[in-house]
Amino acid sequence: MVDGKYGPDVSLNEFIRNVADYRGTKAMCHEGGCGACVVAVRAPLPPNNEVKLFSVNSCLVSVLSCHGWEVTTVEGVGNKTMGYHDIQARLAKFNGTQCGYCTPGWIMNMYSLYESKKKNLSMKEIENSFASNICRCTGYRSIADAFKSFATDIDDRLKNKLIDLEDLDFVKPCGVNCKTKCQHKCDKKDSKPDENKETDDWFVVDETNKIVVDCGSTKFYKVFDLNDIFQAMEHGEYRLIAGNTGQGVFHVSNYPSTVIDIFNVAVLKEYSMDVNLILGAGMPLTEMMELFLKISGENEEFSYLKQFYDHMDLVAHIPVRNRIGDE
Ligand code: FES
Ligand code: FES
């Protein structure tokens, strides 16, 4: 359970590994660069509170920002007790893992992508989606092949490789040697995915719905409304955080007396269009890119946005773009 004893300097990654004690999620660079720490988040997002599944670098997210999030770690996707997810099993079959340190991050990035796109992915999309992860020992070809085997336009080379691998004996978590299409039912506990869910009894929700966490020397505000930002600013020296991706560069450890999380302020995520396209400063880059693609296809006057989309595709990577705004 998260409560006021964890300040804004405690990352989601530290909480998962050291408090919840789930060690599947790894950490290495603490800069959003290696992908070892990627987890999947399901959360209602402004401006319309649509529930979305997206990946984040847990090393860059303050655990206090996770209110209302359902966080899934690699243990929740599949494990030796409940059985492995197809993504995990296929990565292993394609020899896409050696020391394994990077593997949970690859799995979680692919899982988030696969689920968020409703399993409708092309080989190109998959290949283009892994700038966030580094592997120092396996070699990327086997990892790329494993994930591209989930594509709807899988090519013959991979299809044949997949058939060959699926024909191999495969040891299930129960220890029984089965063919892939095996009917053997593991008698181990048929548990549900072990998702780490936040509980909601640690915070104070005030009359305007903002959440206030007293962390001792710092008060952490999670606000949903523009006015609440300005009210919270009146309490003294403050820091605004949105995606908190700057943490990967600046490694902030000293926080002022007031920290205000503005990631959920709906008006900062909206856009309007007349002869100009006006974007809310808090719109994550992922959403901005989707918007660019949509508008460039619908409106000839804005067709140049496709060039912007192509450029943004080279900026950072998906888990960072899911959090960082265009401010
Ligand atoms: S630890 Fe490297 S991206 Fe988070
Ligand atoms: S398997 Fe060793 S770093 Fe990727």
* pLDDT tens track for 239-268: 999 999 988 888 888 999 999 999 999 999
CATH number at residue 21: 3.10.20.30
Is 5 within the bounds of a domain? Answer: no
Query: Which ligand number lies closest to the CA of residue 134?
Result: 2
For ligand 2, say whether the CB of 135 is within 6 Å of any of its atoms.
yes
Q: What is the mean pLDDT of residues 18-41?
A: 97
The predicted structure's pLDDT at residue 2: 61
Amino acid at 304: Y
Range of the domain at 311: 270-321
Q: Which atom from ligand 2 is nearest to the alpha carbon of 99?
A: 2
The predicted structure's pLDDT at residue 182: 41
Is 190 within the bounds of a domain? Answer: no
- State the pLDDT confidence band at 199, using cuts at 50, 70 and 90: very low
Q: What is the mean pLDDT of the chain?
A: 87
Higher pLDDT among residues 175 and 216, named by residue: 216
Is 244 within the bounds of a domain? Answer: yes
The owner of tokens 């020391």 is 99
For ligand 2, say whether the CB of 136 is within 6 Å of any of its atoms.
yes
Residues 171 and 85 in one domain: yes
**pLDDT of 201 strictly over 90:** no
Residues 52 and 115 in one domain: no
Residues 199 and 67 in one domain: yes
How far does CA 150 lie from the centroid of its chain? 19
Residues 91 and 170 in one domain: yes
Burial class (CB within 10 angstroms; exposed 0-12, middle 13-18, buried 19+) of 112: buried
CA–centroid distance, 93 to ligand 1, in Å, is 26
For ligand 2, say whether the CB of 204 is within 6 Å of any of its atoms.
no
Nearest CA to 164 out of 87, 84, 90, 110 is that of: 90
Residues 173 and 81 in one domain: yes
The predicted structure's pLDDT at residue 73: 98
pTM: 0.84
Provide the domain count of the chain: 3
CATH number at residue 148: 1.10.150.120
Is 215 within the bounds of a domain? Answer: yes
The predicted structure's pLDDT at residue 262: 95
The predicted structure's pLDDT at residue 22: 97
Probe ligand 1: pick from 37, 130, 136, 317, max atoms within 8 Å of CB? 37
Closest CA to ligand 2's atom 2:
99
Query: Which ligand number lies closest to the CA of residue 142?
Result: 2
33-90 pLDDT, tens per residue? 999 999 999 999 988 889 999 999 999 999 999 989 999 999 999 999 999 999 999 9
Residues 173 and 116 in one domain: yes
CA–centroid distance, 27 to ligand 1, in Å, is 5
Is 222 within the bounds of a domain? Answer: yes
Residues 117 and 203 in one domain: no
For ligand 2, say whether the CB of 98 is within 6 Å of any of its atoms.
yes
Probe ligand 2: pick from 26, 34, 91, 102, max atoms within 8 Å of CB? 102
Could you tell me the two tokens for 104? Answer: 């949970």
Query: Which ligand number lies closest to the CA of residue 11?
Result: 1
